[in-house]
Structure 1
Amino acid sequence: MTQISYSDEMIEVDADVLAKAFCIDADTLKRDMRSGAITSRFERGEDDDAGKVRLTFFSASRRVRITADAEGKVITCSALDFGTLPLPASARRP
């Protein structure tokens, strides 16, 4: 993944790439996003991070975080696996 697209109204990330980060197929990713099993958060950088954006995607067992510059070029992409243990909502969403 080298690029995301975003505007004030829309964010676009390649479903195949995001699915790979979740270790699932793209159809499962789309289904889980529609059902709310995978959620997301969009943040715009301030001060020293102005012009950058951070996208964080959450499932019950995994978090994927993407940071991109103002043009949408991915700077970092990381994933954290929580395993199969149930976690409190506060651990899944900051």
Structure 2
Amino acid sequence: MTKDAPGIERAGPDFSVDAGLLADSFGITQAQVQQEMRAGGITSRCEAGVDEDAGRWRLTFHRGERAVRFIVDDAGQVLTRVSFPIRTA
């Protein structure tokens, strides 16, 4: 990842998501992303694709009443990105 092109990298079973990518997705600063992740204000979930989706991963991040979801390949390349409202109650 570079500062010019924030993205997602994969190292074994783990993914590393650039704070700039999440900041852009949620409309906040990178510092806010880092602070909120440490405090539990942004949470994440990683799911492996099965059957026809094998080799793809779904990375979902929740913040308040919004979520952003990335579908990535084995190398971490973003195939799709979507942001949507969620219920918190």
Fold-level similarity (TM above 0.5): yes
Structure 1, gaps ≥5 residues long: 89-94
* Alpha-carbon shift at residue 81 of structure 1 (Å): 3.5
Structure 2, unpaired ranges of 5+? none
Q: Which residue of 1 aligns with 2:21?
A: 17
4+ residue runs over 6 A deviation: none
1:69 aligned to 2:79? no
Q: 2: distance between equivalents of 1:60 and 1:67?
A: 21
- TM-score when scaled to structure 2? 0.84
Q: Determine the C-alpha separation between the residues in 2 that align with 1:57 and 1:45.
A: 17
Quote the residue 1:60 is aligned against: 64
In the aligned structure 1, how far is the partner of 2:7 from the partner of 2:38?
Answer: 23
- Check conservation: 1:44, 1:54, Cα contact below 8 A: yes
Instruction: State the AA in 1 paired with 2:24.
Output: K
Give the paired residue count: 84
Which residue is equivalent to 2:53?
49
User: Which amino acid is the alignment partner of residue 74 of structure 1?
Assistant: V
Q: Which has the higher strand share?
A: 2
Alignment identity in percent?
38
Q: Is the CA contact 2:7–2:21 (under 8 Å) kept in the aligned structure 1?
A: no
Distance 1:2 1:31, change over 3 A: closer
Once residues 51 and 12 of structure 1 are traced to their aligned partners in structure 2, the CA distance between those partners, rounded to angstroms, is 17
SS at 1:87 equivalent: coil
Cα distance change on mapping 1:48 and 1:55 into 2, 3 Å: same
81, 88, 92: which one aligns with 2:85: 81
